Amino acid sequence: MIQFSIITIFPNMFNNIFKYGVIKKAIQKKIINIKILNLRNFSINKRKKVDDKIYGGGSGMLIMFLPLFRAVIEAKKKQKKKSIVIYLSPQGKILNHNNIKYFIKKKNLIFICGRYKGIDERFIKTQVDEEWSIGDYILTGGELPAMIFIDAITRSIPGVLNNQNSLREESFNNNLLDCPNYTRPKNINNNIVPSVLLSGNHKKIKKWRLKYALKNTLLKRPDLLNKK
């Protein structure tokens, strides 16, 4: 079981996202559990304030140390195994399919979702174990990245996907894109499914798929071939 905890000022953003498909099943099978913590509940201010102006001036607000610190203590409570505190920001290490595997071995992942201009540097320095990013662009907050992390990690946990899907995944682990895939009907405006895929010859089909995976990768993502 992997415990995911999310610390956010917008807990309602997560109301529906985990109720579908593979993630829903993983929760039902108790392979993962997701806990949402509302940062405002950890404010010591009677107005539930969690942000303040930035020292040195300039526009925008910063999330304060103390509410984050208190929320992390709550997220770590009752967890016997070591927790990892992850701050999601554009300054983090960029997530890719290879480093997803590192996360599936963890027991308790705590995601800090920043908003406004970010969070107090002293929280990053003393409380954050790892800083991660989903890509080189700026979002309005860390909530969508937290959803993306949980989605991508969960589908990689053994037993979450069926065998067929996990085999497909292996090709991306190899730094290759998938080959083209087809379903019924065989003929759409004279655009016909490659005959080898209808042949039933599994050896030939495997060879065809590898060939077209290589072709796809060369045409669409040549940078992936350099890694091979």
Q: Which long-range contacts (CB under 8 A, 24 or more apart) does 134-141 make?
A: 134/88, 134/94, 134/95, 135/94, 135/95, 136/90, 136/94, 137/90, 138/90, 139/90, 140/115, 141/8, 141/10, 141/113, 141/114, 141/115
Determine, following the binding rule CB under 6 A, whether residue 139 of this chain makes contact with ligand 4FM: yes
The only residue of 57, 58, 59, 138 in contact with ligand 4FM, by rule CB under 6 A: 138
Question: Is residue 8 part of the contact set for ligand 4FM (CB under 6 A)?
Answer: no
Site for ligand 4FM in 66-125 (CB under 6 A): 88-90, 114, 117-118
For 156, the enclosing helix (H) or strand (E) is helix 143-156
Among 34, 83, 142, 153, binds ligand 4FM (CB under 6 A): 142
Which residues between 189 and 218 bind ligand 4FM (CB under 6 A)? none
Residue among 138 and 219 whose Cβ is closer to ligand 4FM: 138
How many residues in the chain?
Answer: 228
CB-based contact 81:107 (threshold 8 Å): yes
Please report how close the Cβ of residue 92 comes to ligand 4FM at its closest, in angstroms: 6
Chain position whose Cβ is nearest to ligand 4FM: 118
Alpha carbons 147 and 130: distance in angstroms, whole number = 17
Least distance from C-beta 153 to ligand 4FM, angstroms?
A: 14
Footprint of ligand 4FM on this chain (CB under 6 A)?
Answer: 88-90, 114, 117-118, 133-135, 137-139, 141-142, 145
